[in-house]
Amino acid sequence: MTEILRQSQVSCMQSFVDELVQQSTDAGMIVNGRKTKEMLIGTVARDRLPSVTLSGAPVDRVTSFKLLGVNVASDLKWCLHVDAITSKAASLLHFLKQLKRAGPGVTT
């Protein structure tokens, strides 16, 4: 769920979340509060907005999360994603070098 707030505008996210939980319950689904996260982007992140609750429990507020394989940061910069991809590539390259050193007679 997303919400765009202008300066000094009041957030309606709690009512949106409550409505989503009610619709999910009516459809026979359960919203998993432990997997639900909240991230604030932009200047509103500096403001003290009230935390959103899901069925009475507060939703974790994060500064980054992974969505469809892309690391999204609250500052909308690519550094976190590039670092994760670089680390993964370095790990795979190290593994390939180990295979090369093992020689052609080694089977896995």
45 pLDDT more than 80: no
Comparison of pLDDT for 49 and 24, the residue scoring more: 24
Judge if pTM exceeds 0.85: no
108 pLDDT more than 60: no
User: Which residue bears the tokens 């909308």?
Assistant: 76
Q: 88 exposed, middle or buried (CB, 10 Å; 0-12, 13-18, 19+)?
A: exposed
Q: 98 exposed, middle or buried (CB, 10 Å; 0-12, 13-18, 19+)?
A: exposed
Contact 27, 21 (CB under 8 A): no
Torsion over CA: 23, 33, 5, 76 (sign)? negative
- Percentage of the chain beyond pLDDT 70 is 93
DSSP secondary structure of 58-108: EPEE-SEEEETTEEEETT--SHHHHHHHHHHHHHHHHHHHHHHHH-TT---
Mean pLDDT (the chain) is 87
Render pLDDT for 2-44 as a digit per residue (tens, 0 to 9). 888 887 788 889 999 999 999 999 999 988 888 889 988 877 6
